[in-house]
Every structure is written in structure tokens, then in C-alpha cells.
Structure 1
Amino acid sequence: MFKFVQPSEMKNDFVYTLMVKRRMEKLKHHLQACAEQDAGLLRWDSMLREEHYRMLLHPVLVNWMDTRLFPAFQGGIPEKPVSERLLEEFARLVLIPLWRHEDGPDAAVLRTDAEGVVYFPGCATAVDLGVEAKHMRVTFAKTGDTVWIAAGERRCEVGFSELTGEKKTDASILRRLGFYEHGGIQFGGSDPLVEVFLERELPEIIQSYGKEKPSFPAIRSVPLADIWYYEKAMDLIKTVWPQMYREASAHVRTVYLLDTQEIGALTHNLFQGAIFMSHRSDLMWTTENLIHEFGHARLDQLFELDDLLLNGPDERYPSPWREDLRPLKGVLHGLFVFVRIGLWYELVEAAVPHADISSRRQRVLAQIGQALDILSQHARWTAFGEQLFSELSEQYDRLVSAAAASNPTSSPEGEIAAG
């Protein structure tokens, strides 16, 4: 039987594969409708091949689909000017990966942002034409390894490997972005759509929890002194829990780093495949929060395929991890990721003994037990959800037994009574 709590080896992961395929097929359908407004519009839908789906589905593309493309169709197929704008926006999100695989159009028109810059999701460089070129339509054309860039009267050429950042460049229009990458996961960086989320949407989400409206400045370039924490954290995960490392490397694309103490880390379904995490100079904190958010990212994939819970979002119940009442979907998210944290503690304590792990594990097990009780009493499951809950319960029982064997004087039940 397929297991959902243990990380996937990703060799033949039907959850991720099916989620990606559903997303991309829906995207193709909407792009086709846009192109049908005018036979002269670029037919991007014909360029999206299934063998490239995983490569193309970047978190920024997910956000654009959910906040720009799909809403434009709420009143039916949009008018031609809207379709043209959407296809122009879309080009920026997929042009580089398609060209990297010798696919896509020979040329496309993209628009710069308010600072005259064109960002490509996941690309280590940006094209910076200066503020005088803000909101300008720019033509990009590729011949062999050469990319020709035309902006008004300005004409430039750069190597494609220079544009992608795989090769160093002296080109004045290319700005190197300070990413750090480990196992295909990028740390740092930003994008215009990410900026909108951090400046407008995320502060409003936090404010809705009854807190003051915070700001979330992004750490776009990771300083060399701070790369250590992410390199060591990922190395530790790879060594201690290689299955988790492989799963995360296959479906998490970017960790956007934030200069804030307002939150620890979070995922959001508007940026599926991304993690937003504050920078802390603490290796164990960084590692645990990565494991935590990898779990949220995985469960979001399951929710793409099945409701899991039949309870509505208006039903609110206590949560071991929050002071306010939460929908049961939130309680399930907490249960899933903290069972995985329990598995992590079990592995890391054996590999890298740390003074705080035992007490922290007992606290986590107590919270897991509370969440299981809440869901047992109130959750109405789908068949898929019931299978997941059964697996979570079994893992909890095993973790409690293992913790008791290693430390007979402590128990999660005792922590609940004391807390």
C-alpha cells in the first residue's frame, strides 16, 4: 500500500505526477482559449509537452495561474486585449526552461517591470535595462546559443548560457542574482509576483489572525556568511534522512528567505512548491523548519487530489499549535507535519545527539496526541483521508513506544497533564 507520511522516493510518485499533470492540463486548456481569440497569437498551449511538465511548474507560475489567468475567465473567455496581455505575461514564466530543452518559440515579446527589469523564475540572472525602460515591451529571440534582445532602439546579444547564469558574463544588461542552490532547491531570490504577495497579501493574512500588520522584506541575495546554515541544514537532512531529501528536492523549487521575526516559516497554496522562511542563525532551527515546511508542501499535493476532510472551513476547533480556533484542515496540516518532525527527531537523535531533542520530542508527541483526539472526535473523512489518518495514528503509536523505550521516565501523556 502506498504510504503518505513516510517521504516518497519520487521514482514513481503518483501523487506529485498526477497533481502536476492536472495543473498543467488545466493551464493548456486556458491558454488554448486565449489563443483562439486571434489566429495570430502565439500558441503556447501546443508547446507544453507532458515530459516537461515538472520542469515548467514553478511556484511563480502556480501563483500567476491562480491569481491572474483563472480569474480572467470567471466571466467567460476574456476579450482579445486581455488574452494578449495574459499570453505576454505567460511568456516570461516558461520561455527560459523551454529554450533550455530546445523547445518553445524562436522569439517572444516580454514586458519589463517598474524598474525596467525582466525576471525569469528560477533563473540566476535578470535582464536589467534600467528604469528608463520600465513597462517596455522587449523582444527576445534565440538562434543557437545566442539570445537577441530588442528594446525600442536598443539592441543587445548575450549567450543563452550567460542569460541562465550557467556561465559568467560581462554583459552590462545581465544582473546576477544571489541564489544559493542545494539539490535543485534555490535559497533566496524574488520575483514581481512574490513581491506582491509579500507586500500586500501575506501581511493581510497575518493581520486576519488578530495581529498587527507586519512587513516581510525578502532577502534576495544570500550573503556568503549565511549560506553555511542552508548548506549544513540540507547536508544534515541528506545524511540523516535521504528519502526526505530526495522528496523535497523533487517537488520544492524555492525557499524565499525573509528578513523578519514575525513568522518562522510557511507555505501557501498560491505558491505551491515554495517555502517562505525567516533567516535565523541557528542550524537546528533551520533544519527543523525545512522538514516542517517540506511536510506542508507534501500535504498540499494530497489536497490537490482529494478533499481528505468533508468538514467545512467554517467549522472551528482547538489546535495544539494555535491559540485561535482552526478549521480541521489546519489541524490535519499540523498533525501531518509534526508526525514527520517526530520521525526526524527519532533519526537525528540517533545520528547527531543534541541536548534538546529528547524534551522537544516529548512536547511534539503530546501535541500530536491532542491533534489525533480532536480529529477523532470531529473529522468526517473521505476514503483517502481515512487511510491517511490511520497511517498517522499508527506512526504516532510507534513513535510513543520508541520514545518510551529510549527514555522510560518521560511520557507524552505526562506532558499533556502538566501543560
Structure 2
Amino acid sequence: MFRFVQPSEMKNDFVYTLMVKRRMEKLKHCLQACAEQDGDQPRWDSMLVEEHYRELMHPVLVNWTDTRLFPAFQGAVPEKPVRERLLEEFSRLVLIPLWKHQEGPETAVLRADAEGVVYFPGCITVVDLGAEAKEMRVTFTRTGEMVTISAGERQFVVGFSELTGEKEITAPILRRLGCYEHGGVQFGGSDPLIEAFTERELPEIIQSYGRGRPSLPPIRSLSLADMWYYEKAMDLIQAVWPQMYREVTAHVRAVYLLNTGEIGAVTINLFQGAVFMSHRSDLMWTTENLIHEFGHARLDQLFELDDLLLNSADERYPSPWREDLRPVKGILHGLFVFVRIALWYERVAEVVPHAADIRDRTQQVLAQIGQALDTLRQHARWTALGEQLFSELSEQYDRLVKAAAVSNHAGSPEGSAAAG
């Protein structure tokens, strides 16, 4: 039987594979509709081949399709000016991965941002043309291993491997972002859609939780010390829980770091495959928050395939993780990620067996899990798949409580606290 709580080895993971395929087929449907209207446009729909779907589906592309492309196609194919603008935006999001696989058009016209910079999602190199190229349409033409970049009267030729970050930069218009990458997960970096989201929408989301509106400036570049810190965090996850590491590096693409102390970390399904996290020099805090948000990302994939719950979105019940009443879906999300955190600390305790703070944190987490399970038993109405998931979560909780009681000498206050 497929297990949802334990990390997937990702070799034949039907949840992730089906979720990606559904998204990409919906995208191809929109692109095909454009091609049927505009014979002079590249046939983008035929370029998106299934073996490249995982690389193409970057969180920035997910956000763009959900907030710009799909809404524009609701009801009917949009007018020609709208189609042209959307295709121009789309080409920036997929050009580099397509070119890596010898796909895509030979020439693409992309628009620089307000600072004269062209970003490519997942790429650690940007094209910085300076303020004089503000919002200018820039032509990119690939010939063999070289790329010609034309901006107004200016023209530059750069190596494609320089553009992708595979080789050191020699071209003056290229700039390397101070990002760190571990197993395909990028820490730091930026994109115009990310900048807009962290400036406006994400603070509004946090404010809707009943908190103050935070300032969430992204950390575009990391120092060498910070890169080493995130390397240490990912190395720890890989060493302690290799199955989790393999799952995460297969479907999480980016951890966008925020220069703030006002929030911890958050996952938003509008950026499927991304984590937004404040930067703090506390290794156990960082690894727990990574495991936490990786869990939200995993459950969001499952929610794209099945409702799991039949409850109304208006229903609200107590949550052990929030002061305000929460929808059942939110409580399930909390339960799922905190069961995974308990599994994480179970493994960490084997590496650091006498750390009192790890035992205390495990007991706190188990107590919260027990409260959430009670709430869901009373109020949740499940689909068949949701019932299976809840059964797995309950089984893991029962096993973890027994294991914690044994490790704390059954009958001690530590051993009995989780049962509440």
C-alpha cells in the first residue's frame, strides 16, 4: 500500500507525477488555443514534452499559470493583445530549461524589469542591462552554444553555459546571484513575481491571520557563511533522514529567504514547490521549519488530486497550533506536518540521545498531535483517500507515543504528557 506520511522515495511517486502532469496538460491546452488563433507564434504546446515536466514546473511558473494564465482563459480564449502579452511572459519562464534540452524556439523576445534586469526562474545568473533598459523588450537568439542578446542599439554575445551558471561569467552584462543550491533546492535568489508577492500579497496573507502586517524583504544574495549554514542544515537532513531528503530534492525547488523576525516560515500553494522562510542562525529551528514546510508542500500535492475532506470551508474548530478557530483543512495540515516533525525528532534523538531539549520538544509536539487527532475524530468528514491518510496519522501517533514512553522510562511525567 502506498504510504502518504512517510517520505516517498520519488522513483515512481504517483502523487507528484500525476499532479505535475495535470498542471502541464492544462497549460498545454491554453497554449494550443493560442496557437490555433495565432499561426505566427511558436508552437509552445508541442515543445513541452513529458520527460521535462518536472524541470519546467518551477514555483514561479506555477504562480504565473494560476494567477495570470488560467484566469485569462476562463470562459473563452482571450483577445490577441492579451494572448501576446501572456506568451511573452511565458517564454521567460520556460526558455532556459527548454534550451537545455535542445527544445524551444531559436529566438525569444523577453521584457526586462523596472531595473533593466531579466531573471530566469531557477537560474542563478541574471542579465543586467542597466537602468537604460527599463522594461525594454530584449531579443534572445541561441546559435549553438552562444546566445546573442539584443537590447535596442546594443548587442551582446554570451556563452549559454555562462547564462545557466555552469561556467564562470565573463560577459559584463551577466550577474551571478549569491544563491546556494543543495540537491536541486535553491536557497535565496529572487524573481519579479517573488518580489511582488513578498511585498504585497504575502504580508496581506499574514495580516489575514489576525496579526500585524509584516515587512518581508527577500534576501537576494547570501554570504559564504550563510551558504555554509544552509549546507549544514541540508546535510543534517540528508544524514538523519535520507528518505525525506530524497523526497524534498525531487519536488521542492526553492527556499526563498526573508530578512524578518516577524514570521517563521510559510508555504503557499500558489507557489507550489517553494518555501518562504526567515533567516535565523539556529540549526535545529531551521531544520524543523524546513521539515515542517516540506510537509505542507507534500500535502498540497495530495490536495490537488483529492479533496480528502468533505467539511465546509466555513466550519471552524480549535487548533493546538493557533489561538483562533481553524478550518478542518488547516487542522489536517498541522497534523500532517507535526507528525512528520515528531518522526524527524525521533531520528535526531538517535544521533543526539541525551539532548533534553529534543525530548522536551518531542513531548510538546506529541501533545499537540493528540489534541488535533481528537478534534478531527469528532468533526472531520473524510473521502476514502482522506480516511486512509487519517488512519496512517493515527497509527504513527500511537507508535510514537509508545516509543517516547519507553525512551523516557514509562510512567514518568515525560512519558505520560503526550497522551493528553
TM-score, scaled relative to structure 2: 0.98
Which residue in 2 is equivalent to 1:403? 404
Which residue in 2 is equivalent to 1:146? 146
Map 1:11-26 onto structure 2 (within 5 A). Answer: 11-26=11-26
Query: What are the Cα deviations for residues 280-321 of structure 1, in whole angstroms up to 9, with x where unaligned?
Result: 011111111111111111001100100000112111111000
Give 1:79's aligned amino acid. E
Which residue in 1 is equivalent to 2:38? 38
Which residue in 1 is equivalent to 2:380? 379
Higher mean Cα deviation, 29-38 or 195-204?
29-38
User: Does the Cα contact within 8 Å between 2:404 and 2:415 map onto a contact in 1?
Assistant: no
Deviation at 1:153, TM superposition (A): 1.1
User: Does the Cα contact within 8 Å between 1:296 and 1:333 map onto a contact in 2?
Assistant: yes
Give 1:401's aligned amino acid. K
- CA RMSD, 1 decimal: 1.1
The alignment status of 1:339 with 2:309, answered yes or no, reads no
Q: Secondary structure at the match of 1:36?
A: helix
The alignment status of 1:48 with 2:48, answered yes or no, reads yes
Q: Secondary structure at the match of 1:148?
A: strand
Give 1:164's aligned amino acid. T
User: Does the Cα contact within 8 Å between 2:178 and 2:189 map onto a contact in 1?
Assistant: yes
In structure 2, distance between residues paired with 1:30 and 1:412: 56
Map 1:193-232 onto structure 2 (within 5 A). Answer: 193-232=193-232
Query: What are the Cα deviations for residues 171-204 of structure 1, in whole angstroms up to 9, with x where unaligned?
Result: 1110111110111100000100001110110111
User: Does the Cα contact within 8 Å between 1:188 and 1:222 map onto a contact in 2?
Assistant: yes
Query: What are the Cα deviations for residues 382-406 of structure 1, in whole angstroms up to 9, with x where unaligned?
Result: 0000000000000000000000010
Deviation at 1:91, TM superposition (A): 0.3
In structure 1, distance between residues paired with 2:151 and 2:277: 36
Deviation at 1:35, TM superposition (A): 2.3
User: Does the Cα contact within 8 Å between 1:362 and 1:410 map onto a contact in 2?
Assistant: no
In structure 1, distance between residues paired with 2:98 and 2:407: 52
In structure 2, distance between residues paired with 1:180 and 1:43: 34
Which residue in 2 is equivalent to 1:369? 370
In structure 2, distance between residues paired with 1:153 and 1:32: 34
Flag structure 1 segments of 5+ consecutive residues without an equivalent: none
Give 1:54's aligned amino acid. R
Deviation at 1:134, TM superposition (A): 1.1
Flag structure 2 segments of 5+ consecutive residues without an equivalent: none
User: Does the Cα contact within 8 Å between 1:177 and 1:189 map onto a contact in 2?
Assistant: yes
TM-score, scaled relative to structure 1: 0.98
Give 2:386's aligned amino acid. G
Higher mean Cα deviation, 206-215 or 149-158?
206-215
Map 1:260-271 onto structure 2 (within 5 A). Answer: 260-271=260-271
Deviation at 1:414, TM superposition (A): 3.2
Query: What are the Cα deviations for residues 70-109 of structure 1, in whole angstroms up to 9, with x where unaligned?
Result: 1112342100010000000000000000001111111111
The alignment status of 1:128 with 2:106, answered yes or no, reads no
User: Does the Cα contact within 8 Å between 1:321 and 1:367 map onto a contact in 2?
Assistant: yes
User: Does the Cα contact within 8 Å between 1:363 and 1:412 map onto a contact in 2?
Assistant: no
Which residue in 2 is equivalent to 1:327? 327
Higher mean Cα deviation, 90-99 or 131-140?
131-140
Which residue in 2 is equivalent to 1:86? 86
Q: Secondary structure at the match of 1:356?
A: helix
Deviation at 1:228, TM superposition (A): 2.5
In structure 1, distance between residues paired with 2:52 and 2:243: 24
User: Does the Cα contact within 8 Å between 1:306 and 1:384 map onto a contact in 2?
Assistant: yes
User: Does the Cα contact within 8 Å between 1:366 and 1:412 map onto a contact in 2?
Assistant: no
In structure 1, distance between residues paired with 2:85 and 2:5: 42
Query: What are the Cα deviations for residues 31-62 of structure 1, in whole angstroms up to 9, with x where unaligned?
Result: 11122221111211110000110110000000
Deviation at 1:151, TM superposition (A): 1.1
Give 2:211's aligned amino acid. K
Which residue in 2 is equivalent to 1:187? 187
Which aligned runs of 4 or more in structure 1 are off by greater than 4 angstroms?
Answer: none
In structure 1, distance between residues paired with 2:159 and 2:339: 48
User: Does the Cα contact within 8 Å between 1:229 and 1:286 map onto a contact in 2?
Assistant: no
Give 1:37's aligned amino acid. Q
The alignment status of 1:234 with 2:237, answered yes or no, reads no
User: Does the Cα contact within 8 Å between 2:169 and 2:175 map onto a contact in 1?
Assistant: no
Query: What are the Cα deviations for residues 316-341 of structure 1, in whole angstroms up to 9, with x where unaligned?
Result: 11100001111111000000000001
Q: How many residues align?
A: 417
Query: What are the Cα deviations for residues 125-176 of structure 1, in whole angstroms up to 9, with x where unaligned?
Result: 0001111111111111111100011111111100000011111122111011
User: Does the Cα contact within 8 Å between 2:120 and 2:126 map onto a contact in 1?
Assistant: yes
The alignment status of 1:358 with 2:384, answered yes or no, reads no
In structure 2, distance between residues paired with 1:218 and 1:412: 42
Which residue in 2 is equivalent to 1:99? 99
User: Does the Cα contact within 8 Å between 1:37 and 1:79 map onto a contact in 2?
Assistant: no
Identity %: 79
In structure 1, distance between residues paired with 2:225 and 2:240: 24
Give 2:315's aligned amino acid. E
Map 1:307-326 onto structure 2 (within 5 A). Answer: 307-326=307-326
Which residue in 1 is equivalent to 2:393? 392
In structure 2, distance between residues paired with 1:245 and 1:148: 38
Query: What are the Cα deviations for residues 214-256 of structure 1, in whole angstroms up to 9, with x where unaligned?
Result: 1100011011111222111111111110000000000000000
User: Does the Cα contact within 8 Å between 2:363 and 2:417 map onto a contact in 1?
Assistant: no
In structure 2, distance between residues paired with 1:296 and 1:24: 21
User: Does the Cα contact within 8 Å between 2:405 and 2:416 map onto a contact in 1?
Assistant: no
Deviation at 1:410, TM superposition (A): 3.1
In structure 2, distance between residues paired with 1:398 and 1:268: 31
